[in-house]
């Protein structure tokens, strides 16, 4: 998918849900830390995800697992820029996204061909990020998180998690609009696993229709391989990779309940889940697009 097509999709509520592949070029991410830290490994993984059906690839140079400490901009850039430069011209149908909260990292990535900013702080960590998105006219994903990655899982509490997450996301969307971001380029993410207990995560998933009605913006859902899945399903042979079956259930549920984008590690399998769920909901199978 080329960037102009992505912008057109944002304005089309009937477009099929998109699959966003996760590419962490970090030594310490919760699921795949270190696997794609080298440029060659990261490039190979990006090409494989595109071939498996990724509409977007979300590149991140900072781990935001529970308990993690922040990574300075210069280190994030050291990790991501060689990968972006090596990918230039090799993913003509795939939109690239940068997973960062820092404007200097986002701007350097945009200069290298990235089209979307994915900010887990929803513009709170760096006051220059939302004006950057406005100036560069790029889509931005705003996520809810209670606390910081270092503290978010210590004791997350809510009176009504869905109402509070919706209120936060609406406030941050308004902040983005006030900074000059085109309202049609704002996506929101309830932040599954970011400052939530198992029950909070399950409640947010159950309440996706309510959340969608409250925020009225494209919804990004990232449940892939997260710890709450293991806590529900129990330990299974094979470690985190075998959370893919629990992940598949959450992806199907999210698509059936209005998700616009699903952010996943196992692109090939989850693209099948998205396609099958969509066919059940709408009837018939949409044409398979070429990678």
For the chain, strand residue ranges (E) read 18-24, 56-60, 95-99, 116-119, 140-143, 186-189, 220-221, 261-264
CB 24 within 8 A of CB 37: no
Identified catalytic residue from 65, 243, 263, 278: 263
- Nearby residues of 191 by Cβ (< 8 Å), 6 or more positions away: 120, 143, 144, 145, 165
Respond yes or no: is residue 85 known to be catalytic: no
Signed CA dihedral, 172, 143, 165, 123: sign only: negative
Contact predicate 179/134, CB 8 Å: yes
Q: What is the DSSP string of 32-44?
A: TTTTT-SHHHHHH
In the chain the first and final C-alpha atoms are separated, in Å, by: 9
Where does 35-160 have alpha helices with state H?
39-52, 73-87, 103-111, 129-136
Q: How many CA atoms lie within 13 A of 23 on its CB side?
A: 30
Check if the beta carbon of residue 117 is closer than 8 Å to that of residue 138.
yes
Are residues 132 and 109 in contact, defined by beta-carbon separation less than 8 angstroms?
no
Residue 231 annotated as catalytic: no
Q: Single out the catalytic residue among 45, 172, 226, 278.
A: 226
Structure tokens, 183:
């309202």
CB-based contact 217:173 (threshold 8 Å): yes
Show which residues are catalytic. 226, 263
């Amino acid at each position: 998918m080329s960037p102009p097509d992505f912008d057109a999709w944002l304005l089309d509520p009937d477009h099929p849900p998109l699959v966003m592949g996760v590419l962490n070029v970090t030594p310490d991410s919760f699921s795949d830390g270190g696997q794609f830290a080298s440029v060659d490994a990261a490039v190979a993984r990006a090409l494989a995800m595109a071939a498996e059906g990724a509409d977007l690839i979300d590149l991140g140079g900072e781990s935001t697992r529970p308990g993690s400490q922040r990574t300075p901009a210069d280190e994030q850039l050291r990790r991501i820029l060689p990968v972006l430069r090596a990918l230039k011209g090799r993913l003509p149908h795939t939109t690239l996204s940068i997973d960062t909260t820092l404007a200097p990292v986002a701007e350097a990535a945009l200069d290298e061909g990235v089209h979307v900013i994915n900010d887990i702080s929803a513009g709170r960590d760096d006051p220059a990020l939302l004006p950057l998105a406005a100036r560069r006219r790029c889509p931005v994903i705003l996520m809810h998180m209670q606390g910081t990655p270092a503290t978010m899982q210590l004791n997350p509490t809510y009176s009504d998690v869905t109402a509070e997450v919706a209120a936060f996301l609406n406030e941050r969307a308004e902040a983005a609009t006030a900074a000059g971001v085109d309202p049609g380029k704002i996506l929101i993410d309830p932040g599954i696993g970011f400052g939530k207990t198992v029950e909070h995560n399950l409640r947010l998933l159950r309440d996706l229709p309510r959340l969608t009605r409250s925020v009225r913006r494209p919804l990004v859902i990232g449940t892939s391989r997260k710890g709450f899945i293991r806590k529900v399903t129990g330990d299974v042979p094979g470690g985190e990779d075998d959370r893919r079956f629990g992940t598949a259930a959450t992806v199907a549920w999210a698509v059936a309940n209005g998700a616009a984008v699903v952010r996943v590690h196992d692109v090939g399998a989850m693209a099948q889940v998205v396609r099958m769920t969509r066919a059940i909901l709408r009837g018939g199978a949409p044409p398979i697009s070429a990678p």
